[in-house]
Chains A and B, each alone.
Chain A
Amino acid sequence: MISGDLEYLMNSLPYLSFQNTTEIRQRVVALFYAYAGQSVEQISLVHILEDEAKKFLSTQDYILFCTIDLDTIYQTAIQQSGNQALAEFSKFTFDLKEKVCQLRKLRRAGNNKAVSDQPGMLSLEGTPLEQEIQLLRYQWDKLEDLAMGHYANLEALILYKLKMMLLLRWWGFDALQGFEKFTQLAKDN
C-alpha cells in the first residue's frame, strides 16, 4: 500500500459500496491482497487494513481501531468512546439491537399484528437472509451519514472499517456452506 499520511491511506483503499456481486467482491479482495503483497488469501481483509492503519495511527488510536468489532460494537464502553462517530454508531447499533429484540419477542408470542401496528417498530420482511441484509443496510446508511465531512481522519478510517465489516459479513453468507452446516445440525443428535 502507498505509504504516507492517513489521506494517502484513505485514498488508496478500495471504494466500498453496498453491493454483493462477484465482480465487486473480487475487485475489493484482489486490491487488498495486492496491496498487502499476499497472493494467497491467508489473512483476513480486516487484518490487512489494521496492519496498514498501524503505520499511520498513534498507539492509542491503533488500539481503539483494533478493538472495533461488529459483535461488540453496541457495548457501553464503545458508546462512551471519545470518538464521536464510533460512539454514535455504537449507540445506533444498540438501539437497533433493542428494536430487533423487541420484534423477536413479539414474533415469538405470535403477535404479528402487534409487530406491524407498533410505532417505531422495525419493518423487516422476506427470508431471514433478506432481513439480515435489511439490517445491514440500516447500519450501512447510518455509516454513510456519519461519514459526511470525514475524509482523511481517524473517524473516516473507523467508518471505513465498519463498512468493510458489514460487507464482509454479507459476503460471507454462503449457501453451499450454510446448507452443509444445516444438514449436519439437522442430523446430529
Chain B
Amino acid sequence: MGDKIQMNKNTLAALKTELEEYKNALPVFEMKEEQLKGVVRSIEESIAILRQEIQESNSQLQAWVGVLVEDNQALISAVRVDRVVTEKMEIAGVIVSMFEDIIFKDAEVDLFTTPLWTDTAIEVIIDQKTRHVILDIEEKKLELLQEELAEARRMKNALKEVFIPETIENIRKIEIYLGDVERLAIGCAKLVKKKKQHKLAEHDR
C-alpha cells in the first residue's frame, strides 16, 4: 500500500474491487476472532479446573503417600499407559486433537502378595495420569488456537485500521485527481471551442 499508486481509472476500478473484498473479509475475521475467543476461554477454564483437580489430589494424598516408597513392580505395570485415543477436530479452521480415552496396559495385580495400599495407589495414579494427559492435550490445543486467534486479530486489525482506510483514501485521491483532469479537459474543450468560434467570427467579418 505504500507504493505510489497510478492515478487512472483502471487503478480506481481495481481499488474499488479490493475495497469490496476487504469489506467482505472483515466480518469473516471478526467472526473468527469471536469464535476463537470463546473456544480459547473455555479451554483456559478447563485447564484451570484440571490444574485445580491435580492440586487437590496432590494435597489429599499427602496423608498417605509415604507408602509409595516401597518397591511395587505390580503398581508400576498397572499404571503404564498402553495408548491415548484422540480424535482430530476442526475448530475455526484449526485442526486440533480431542481427548477420547486413555487405555492402560492390562496388568494383573496379585491381591495376595502385593500390599493393601496398592489398590488405592493404582486408582489415584491412574486418575492423576489421565488428568495430566488431558492437560497436555488441552495445552497443545490452546497453543494452536491462541496462535490462530492472534492471526485472526492481526488480520482484522490490519483490514480495519490499514487496508480499508488506505484503500478508501487512495480511491478518494484518484477520484479527486480524475475529477480535476475531467474538469480541466472540459475547460480546455470549452476554450478551444470558444477560440474556434472567435476565429470563425473574425473570418466572416
Do the beta carbons of A98 and B112 come within 8 Å of each other?
A: yes
Do the beta carbons of A182 and B117 come within 8 Å of each other?
A: no
**Closest CB-CB distance, A104 to chain B, in whole Å?**
5
Interface of A is mostly: helix
Residues of A within 8 A of B80 (CB): 189
Interface of B is mostly: helix
**Closest CB-CB distance, B150 to chain A, in whole Å?**
29
Do the beta carbons of B69 and A104 come within 8 Å of each other?
A: no
Residues of A within 8 A of B68 (CB): 177-179, 181-182, 185
**Per-residue interface assignment for chain A, residues 112 to 145, with 1 indicating a CB less than 8 Å from any chain B CB and 0 otherwise:** 0000000000001001111110010000000000
**Does chain B have a CB within 8 A of A175?**
yes
Within 8 A of A (CB), among B118-171: 119-121, 124-125, 128-129, 132-133
- In the complex formed, the residue of B with least CB distance to A100 is B116
**Closest CB-CB distance, A85 to chain B, in whole Å?**
23
Interface size class of A (residues with CB under 8 A): 20 to 34
**Closest CB-CB distance, A25 to chain B, in whole Å?**
14
Within 8 A of B (CB), among A143-166: none
**A-B contact list, 24 entries, CB within 8 Å:** A97-B113, A103-B116, A104-B119, A108-B119, A127-B64, A128-B120, A129-B63, A131-B116, A173-B70, A174-B66, A174-B69, A175-B62, A177-B68, A178-B65, A178-B66, A179-B58, A182-B61, A182-B121, A182-B128, A186-B79, A186-B129, A189-B81, A189-B129, A189-B133
Q: In the docked arrangement, what's the CA distance between A127 and B129, Å?
A: 21
Seen from chain A, the residues whose Cβ lies within 8 Å of a Cβ on chain B are 97-98, 100-101, 103-105, 107-108, 124, 127-132, 135, 169, 172-175, 177-179, 181-182, 185-187, 189
Do the beta carbons of A186 and B125 come within 8 Å of each other?
A: yes
Residues of B within 8 A of A177 (CB): 66, 68-69
Do the beta carbons of B121 and A128 come within 8 Å of each other?
A: yes
Q: In the docked arrangement, what's the CA distance between A118 and B140, Å?
A: 50
Residues of A within 8 A of B49 (CB): none
Residues of B within 8 A of A108 (CB): 119
Do the beta carbons of A132 and B119 come within 8 Å of each other?
A: no
Do the beta carbons of B79 and A105 come within 8 Å of each other?
A: no
Residues of B within 8 A of A124 (CB): 116
- Residue among B81, B116, B119, B129 with the most chain A CB within 10 A? B116
Do the beta carbons of A131 and B111 come within 8 Å of each other?
A: no
**Closest CB-CB distance, A137 to chain B, in whole Å?**
13
- In the complex formed, the residue of B with least CB distance to A124 is B116
Q: In the docked arrangement, what's the CA distance between A130 and B65, Å?
A: 11
Do the beta carbons of B69 and A132 come within 8 Å of each other?
A: no
Do the beta carbons of A178 and B117 come within 8 Å of each other?
A: no
Do the beta carbons of B117 and A187 come within 8 Å of each other?
A: no
Q: In the docked arrangement, what's the CA distance between A172 and B66, Å?
A: 8
- In the complex formed, the residue of A with least CB distance to B130 is A186
- Residue among B68, B80, B129 with the most chain A CB within 10 A? B68
- In the complex formed, the residue of A with least CB distance to B75 is A185
**Closest CB-CB distance, A102 to chain B, in whole Å?**
9
Q: In the docked arrangement, what's the CA distance between A164 and B124, Å?
A: 30
Do the beta carbons of A129 and B67 come within 8 Å of each other?
A: yes
Q: In the docked arrangement, what's the CA distance between A108 and B119, Å?
A: 8
Q: In the docked arrangement, what's the CA distance between A128 and B69, Å?
A: 13
Query: Given known contacts A104-B111, A104-B116, A135-B116, is B129 in contact with A187 (CB within 8 Å)?
Result: yes
**Does chain A have a CB within 8 A of B187?**
no
Q: In the docked arrangement, what's the CA distance between A104 and B109, Å?
A: 11
The 4 closest A-B pairs by CB, nearest first: A173-B66, A129-B64, A128-B117, A127-B64
Query: Given known contacts A129-B117, A135-B116, is B132 in contact with A186 (CB within 8 Å)?
Result: yes
- In the complex formed, the residue of B with least CB distance to A71 is B113
